Each structure stands twice: as structure tokens, then as C-alpha cells.
Amino acid sequence: MDYKQAADMELWQCCQQDDMRAYNELFSRYYPRMFHLASSYIDDMMKAEELCMDQLFNLWVKRRQINITSNFSHYLFRSIRNLVITHLRRNIPMDASLDKILEEHQLDRPTDYRLLSEEAEQAYRTSLNELSPQRRQVFILSREENLTYSEIAQRMNLSVNTVENYMVAALNSLRKNMKEYVPSAMIPLLFLRDFL
């Protein structure tokens, strides 16, 4: 097998069969990008590196339990995003008041940021409520509860394929509706709100 040319899912299947060379190839493909993502939100480079190494180590240790059925890179980047969010939430200074933290964050933003973000959040909630009940539930379980597609499929008694289709439809609908409510420059703020 040519590991350099192999597809991610092919390498992942080899990992599940204890193929260390396949794991090393996935590691070299994804570690730099995972580290770049983590370090763009965490000032401490050592901590960003530790989170990425822990995630990749965990991938190997739990290779037989982890069920990745569709997009390997999506799984990895979502998992590191979740670790970053957890790290940031756990490391909010305990001696700082919420008002002080909000004040410090507002100093770096335009004065109309709060108004725009409130409008964007309202537009997001309105657009979310316009989705069909099943699409809305799939979207919330994925984006707000951070479940994998297979976990969502199991919880809702659907196929993974159906969950993926619901997510694509929900995202398309949300993007379309959000453009009607807020400038396109504001849309990414809603998806980064967990990092603020």
C-alpha cells in the first residue's frame, strides 16, 4: 500500500487493524492543521500542542471504539474544536467578574458590535425555527450538543446518510435565510460564538 497516496478513510480502516504506518501518515497529514487551528484560539502554544497531541493519541488508543463513517477530517477538526472550547471555558479567570470580562472583550470591537451580534443571533434563532422539526433537531444535536452523525442517527433512529442529508439541507437553509437578515460578514460570528 502507498500510504502517501491512500485516502483518509482507507488509512483509518488500516489504523483500526493496528497499522501504525497508516496512523503515522494520518498524524503527519493532520497534526499541523489541527495545531494551527488550536493555536489560533489559545495563546499558550504548549497547551495548543498538548490538546492536539492528546486528541491524536486518543484516536489511536480508541481506534476500535471510534466509529468514523463519512469524513475523517471533519471528525478530527470538530474534535479539536470541542477540546479548545472546553479548555477556554475551564480557563476563564475565576477572580474576574463577568462584567470585567465583557468589558475587556468589548474594547477590541467596534461600538456597534454588540448590536450586530444581537441581530445576528436573533436572525439565527429565527432561521433555526423555520427548519422542519427533524432538520432542526439534527442541527442542534450536531452544532450545539456536539454529537457525531452516528450518535445523532442512533438517538433519532435514522440512518447516518439521512442525518448527513438533513445537515446539508439545514446549513443551506440557514445560510440562505441569514443573508436576508444580516450582512454576510456577520454570519461567521454565529459559528464562532463559542470561542468568544
CATH code of residue 82: 1.10.1740.10
CA 172 vs CA 4, 135, 159, 178: distances in Å: 34, 11, 20, 10
The Cα–Cα gap between 167 and 123 comes to: 19
The last residue of a domain, from among 68, 90, 112: 90
The last residue of a domain, from among 33, 64, 90: 90
The Cα–Cα gap between 131 and 18 comes to: 43
> Looking at per-residue confidence, does 43 or 12 come out higher?
12
Judge if 22 and 76 occupy the same domain.
Answer: yes
> Looking at per-residue confidence, does 10 or 194 come out higher?
10
Judge if 23 and 82 occupy the same domain.
Answer: yes
The Cα–Cα gap between 136 and 127 comes to: 10
Judge if 103 and 190 occupy the same domain.
Answer: yes
Checking if the pLDDT of 196 tops 50, the result is: no
**pLDDT given at position 157:** 92
Per-residue pLDDT tens digits for 19-39:
999 999 989 988 898 888 888
Among 65, 74, 55, 64, residue whose Cα is nearest residue 163 = 74
Q: Is residue 2 part of a domain?
A: no
Work out the average pLDDT over 58-84. Answer: 86
- In terms of residue numbers, what domain contains 147? 98-195
> Looking at per-residue confidence, does 100 or 127 come out higher?
127
pTM: 0.48
Q: Is residue 159 part of a domain?
A: yes
Checking if the pLDDT of 129 tops 80, the result is: yes
The last residue of a domain, from among 90, 114, 133: 90
CATH classification of the domain holding 165? 1.10.10.10
Average pLDDT over the chain, rounded to an integer: 77
